[in-house]
Amino acid sequence: MVLSVLDQRVSMHYSEPKPRANEDWLCNKCGVQNFKRRDKCFKCGVPKSGKYIL
- Is residue 37 in some structural domain? yes
- Domain of 49 in residue numbering reads as 19-54
d(Cα 54, Cα 52) in Å, to the nearest integer? Answer: 6
- Is residue 2 in some structural domain? no
- Is residue 30 in some structural domain? yes
- Is residue 46 in some structural domain? yes
- Is residue 8 in some structural domain? no
- Is residue 24 in some structural domain? yes
> How many other CB atoms sit within 10 Å of the CB of residue 41?
21
Tens-of-pLDDT digits for all 54 residues of the chain?
A: 556 678 777 776 777 766 665 788 899 889 899 999 999 999 999 998 865 555
